[in-house]
Amino acid sequence: MNENKTNINWYPGHMAKTKREIKELIDTIDIVISLVDARIPVSSYIKDLNEFINNKKVIIVFNKYDLCDKDKTDKFIKHYEDKSFKVVTCDSKNSNDYKKIISICEDLMKDINIKRKEKGLLPKKAKCLIIGVPNVGKSTLINKIVGKKVANVGNKPGVTKNLSTLRINDKIDLVDSPGILWPKLDNDELALNLASMGIIKEEILPVDKVAVHILKKLDVSYKEILSKELGIKEFNLDDIVNMYEIISKYKNIPFKDGEADYDRVSTLILNLVRNETIKNITFD
pLDDT digits (tens, 9 = 90+) for 197-230: 999 877 778 899 999 999 999 999 999 999 999 9
- Percent of the chain having pLDDT more than 70? 87
For CATH 3.40.50.300, list the domain ranges present in the chain.
10-184
Look at residue 13 in the predicted model and tell me its pLDDT: 64
Fold of 10-184: Rossmann fold (3.40.50)
- Residue 184 pairs in a beta bridge with 9
**Residue 205 or 235, more confident:** 235
Mean pLDDT of the chain: 86
Predicted confidence (pLDDT) per residue in 79-127, tens digit: 999 988 899 999 867 668 888 998 999 899 888 889 889 999 888 888 9
What is the value of pTM for the model shown? Answer: 0.86
- 162 confidence band (pLDDT: 50, 70, 90): low
- Residue 8 pairs in a beta bridge with 185
Look at residue 170 in the predicted model and tell me its pLDDT: 82
Q: Residue range 29-46: average pLDDT?
A: 94
Q: Residue range 235-262: average pLDDT?
A: 94
**Residue 42 or 161, more confident:** 42
Look at residue 158 in the predicted model and tell me its pLDDT: 44
Lowest-pLDDT range, 54-63, 66-75, 105-114, 151-160?
151-160
